[in-house]
Chain A
Amino acid sequence: PTSRSGPVAANLKAVKETMDVLLEISRTLNTGLVMENLSIFVLSCEQGINPEALSSVIEELCKATEALKAAENMTS
Chain B
Amino acid sequence: MATPDQKSPNVLLQNLCCRILGRSEADVAQQFQFAVRVIGSNFAPTVERDEFLVAEKIKKELIRQRREADAALFSELHRKLHSQGVLKNKWSILYLLLNLSEDPRKQANKVSSYASLFAQALPRDAHSTPYYYARPQTLPLNYQDRSTQATQSTGSLGSSGISSLGVCGLGGPTPVPQPLLPGQSHQAQGVGDGLRQQLGSRLAWTITANQPSSQTPTSKGFPNTLSRNMTRSRREGDLSGTMEVTEAALVRDILYVFQGIDGKNIKMSSTENCYKVEGKANLNKSLRDTAVRLAELGWLHNKIRKYADQRSLDRSFGLVGQSFCAALHQELKEYYRLLSVLHSQLQLEDDQGVNLGLESSLTLRRLLVWTYDPKIRLKTLAALVDHCQGRKGGELASAVHAYTKTGDPYMRSLVQHILSLVSHPVLSFLYRWIYDGELEDTYHEVAADLFTDLENAFQGKIDAAYFETSKYLLDVLNKKYSLLDHMQAMRRYLLLGQGDFIRHLMDLLKPELVRPATTLYQHNLTGILETAVRATNAQFDSPEILRRLDVRLLEVSPGDTGWDVFSLDYHVDGPIATVFTRECMSHYLRVFNFLWRAKRMEYILTDIRKGHMCNAKLLRNMPEFSGVLHQCHILASEMVHFIHQMQYYVTFEVLECSWDELWNRVQQAQDLDHIIAAHEAFLDAITSRCLLDSASRVLLNQLRAVFDQIIELQNVQDAIYRAALEELQRRLQFEERKKQREVEGQWGVTQVEEEEENRRVREFQDSIPKMCSQLRILTHFYQGVVQQFLVLLTTSSDESLRFLSFRLDFNEHYKAREPRLRVSLGTRGRRSSHT
Seen from chain A, the residues whose Cβ lies within 8 Å of a Cβ on chain B are 11, 14-15, 17-19, 21-22, 24-26, 28-34, 36-37, 39-68, 71-72, 75
Residues of B within 8 A of A32 (CB): 102, 113-116, 118-119
Supplied contacts A53-B42, A57-B39, A64-B218, 16 more A-B pairs, CB within 8 Å: A14-B85, A18-B84, A29-B97, A31-B97, A31-B100, A37-B118, A39-B4, A41-B93, A47-B12, A50-B42, A54-B96, A57-B35, A62-B111, A64-B31, A66-B111, A67-B220
| B9 interfacial contact with A, CB 8 Å | yes
The CA of A72 and the CA of B275, in the complex, are separated in Å by 46
Residues of B within 8 A of A48 (CB): 9, 89, 142-145
Residues of A within 8 A of B45 (CB): 50-52
Q: Establish whether residues A47 and B97, one from each chain, have CB atoms under 8 Å apart when the complex forms.
A: no
Find A30's partner among B7, B80, B88, B101 (CB 8 Å cutoff): B101
Residues of A within 8 A of B35 (CB): 57, 60-61
Q: Establish whether residues B118 and A25, one from each chain, have CB atoms under 8 Å apart when the complex forms.
A: no
**Minimum Cβ distance to chain B for residue A29 (Å):** 4
Q: Establish whether residues A49 and B111, one from each chain, have CB atoms under 8 Å apart when the complex forms.
A: no
What 0/1 readout, one digit per residue, does chain B (51-87) give for beta carbons within 8 Å of chain A? Answer: 0000000100010000000100110011011001111
Of B172-180, B304-312, B596-604, which stretch is located at the interface? B172-180
Q: Which secondary structure dominates chain B's binding surface?
A: helix
Q: Establish whether residues B92 and A29, one from each chain, have CB atoms under 8 Å apart when the complex forms.
A: no
Q: Establish whether residues A25 and B74, one from each chain, have CB atoms under 8 Å apart when the complex forms.
A: yes
Residues of A within 8 A of B268 (CB): none
Residues of B within 8 A of A40 (CB): 4, 12, 15-16, 19
Q: Establish whether residues A62 and B87, one from each chain, have CB atoms under 8 Å apart when the complex forms.
A: no
- Given A31-B101, A32-B118, A44-B12, verify A51-B42 contact (CB < 8 Å): no
- Given A53-B175, A57-B35, A59-B112, verify A34-B119 contact (CB < 8 Å): yes
Residues of A within 8 A of B44 (CB): 50
Q: Establish whether residues A37 and B19, one from each chain, have CB atoms under 8 Å apart when the complex forms.
A: yes
The CA of A50 and the CA of B117, in the complex, are separated in Å by 22
Q: Which residue of A lies closest to B23 (CB)?
A: A68
**Minimum Cβ distance to chain A for residue B632 (Å):** 107
Residues of A within 8 A of B144 (CB): 48
Q: Establish whether residues A28 and B70, one from each chain, have CB atoms under 8 Å apart when the complex forms.
A: yes
Q: Establish whether residues A63 and B111, one from each chain, have CB atoms under 8 Å apart when the complex forms.
A: yes
Residues of A within 8 A of B652 (CB): none
**Minimum Cβ distance to chain A for residue B7 (Å):** 7
What 0/1 readout, one digit per residue, does chain B (17-50) give for beta carbons within 8 Å of chain A? Answer: 1011110000000010011001100111111000
Q: Which residue of A lies closest to B92 (CB)?
A: A45
Q: Establish whether residues A64 and B21, one from each chain, have CB atoms under 8 Å apart when the complex forms.
A: yes
Residues of A within 8 A of B258 (CB): none
Residues of A within 8 A of B238 (CB): none
Residues of B within 8 A of A37 (CB): 16, 19, 118, 121
Residues of A within 8 A of B17 (CB): 61
Q: Which residue of A lies closest to B86 (CB)?
A: A18
What 0/1 readout, one digit per residue, does chain B (108-147) give for beta carbons within 8 Å of chain A? Answer: 0001111111110100000000000000000001111100
Residues of B within 8 A of A46 (CB): 87-89, 92-93
The CA of A13 and the CA of B97, in the complex, are separated in Å by 23
- Given A29-B101, A50-B44, verify A14-B93 contact (CB < 8 Å): no
The CA of A52 and the CA of B104, in the complex, are separated in Å by 22
Q: Establish whether residues A71 and B220, one from each chain, have CB atoms under 8 Å apart when the complex forms.
A: yes
The CA of A71 and the CA of B111, in the complex, are separated in Å by 14
Q: Establish whether residues B102 and A65, one from each chain, have CB atoms under 8 Å apart when the complex forms.
A: no
Residues of A within 8 A of B667 (CB): none
Q: Establish whether residues A17 and B84, one from each chain, have CB atoms under 8 Å apart when the complex forms.
A: yes
| B8 interfacial contact with A, CB 8 Å | yes
| B553 interfacial contact with A, CB 8 Å | no
Q: Establish whether residues B47 and A52, one from each chain, have CB atoms under 8 Å apart when the complex forms.
A: yes
**Minimum Cβ distance to chain A for residue B77 (Å):** 5
The CA of A56 and the CA of B58, in the complex, are separated in Å by 18
- Given A29-B97, A33-B118, A44-B13, verify A62-B112 contact (CB < 8 Å): yes
The CA of A57 and the CA of B100, in the complex, are separated in Å by 12
What 0/1 readout, one digit per residue, does chain B (143-186) give for beta carbons within 8 Å of chain A? Answer: 11100000000000000000000000000011101000000000
Interface footprint category on B: 35 or more
| B98 interfacial contact with A, CB 8 Å | yes
Q: Which residue of B lies closest to A33 (CB)?
A: B118
The CA of A30 and the CA of B448, in the complex, are separated in Å by 72
Residues of A within 8 A of B73 (CB): 24, 28
Q: Establish whether residues B39 and A50, one from each chain, have CB atoms under 8 Å apart when the complex forms.
A: yes
Find B118's partner among A17, A28, A34 (CB 8 Å cutoff): A34
Q: Establish whether residues B112 and A31, one from each chain, have CB atoms under 8 Å apart when the complex forms.
A: no
Q: Establish whether residues A51 and B93, one from each chain, have CB atoms under 8 Å apart when the complex forms.
A: yes
The CA of A53 and the CA of B43, in the complex, are separated in Å by 7
| B511 interfacial contact with A, CB 8 Å | no
**Minimum Cβ distance to chain A for residue B173 (Å):** 5
The CA of A17 and the CA of B82, in the complex, are separated in Å by 12
Residues of A within 8 A of B107 (CB): none
22 A-B contact pairs sorted by A residue (CB < 8 Å)? A18-B84, A24-B77, A28-B62, A28-B70, A29-B102, A30-B101, A31-B100, A32-B102, A32-B118, A42-B87, A44-B12, A47-B142, A48-B143, A49-B9, A50-B39, A50-B43, A52-B95, A54-B96, A57-B34, A60-B34, A61-B21, A62-B111
Q: Which residue of B lies closest to A66 (CB)?
A: B111
The CA of A18 and the CA of B7, in the complex, are separated in Å by 19
| B99 interfacial contact with A, CB 8 Å | yes
Residues of B within 8 A of A50 (CB): 39, 42-45, 92, 143
Q: Which residue of B lies closest to A31 (CB)?
A: B100
Residues of B within 8 A of A60 (CB): 34-35, 38, 177
Q: Establish whether residues A52 and B74, one from each chain, have CB atoms under 8 Å apart when the complex forms.
A: no
Q: Which residue of A lies closest to B12 (CB)?
A: A44
Residues of B within 8 A of A49 (CB): 9, 12-13, 39, 92, 141-143
Q: Establish whether residues A29 and B58, one from each chain, have CB atoms under 8 Å apart when the complex forms.
A: yes
Among the interface residues A55, A57, A72, which one has the most CB atoms of the partner chain B within 10 A? Answer: A57
Residues of B within 8 A of A28 (CB): 62, 70, 73-74, 77
Q: Which residue of B lies closest to A69 (CB)?
A: B22
**Minimum Cβ distance to chain A for residue B581 (Å):** 62
**Minimum Cβ distance to chain A for residue B195 (Å):** 13
Q: Establish whether residues B77 and A21, one from each chain, have CB atoms under 8 Å apart when the complex forms.
A: yes
Q: Establish whether residues A43 and B42, one from each chain, have CB atoms under 8 Å apart when the complex forms.
A: no
The CA of A37 and the CA of B119, in the complex, are separated in Å by 8
Residues of A within 8 A of B389 (CB): none
Q: Establish whether residues A54 and B58, one from each chain, have CB atoms under 8 Å apart when the complex forms.
A: no
**Minimum Cβ distance to chain A for residue B735 (Å):** 123
Residues of B within 8 A of A43 (CB): 4-5, 7, 12
Residues of A within 8 A of B7 (CB): 43
The CA of A53 and the CA of B44, in the complex, are separated in Å by 9
The CA of A46 and the CA of B1, in the complex, are separated in Å by 15
The CA of A18 and the CA of B19, in the complex, are separated in Å by 23
Among the interface residues A29, A41, A60, which one has the most CB atoms of the partner chain B within 10 A? Answer: A29
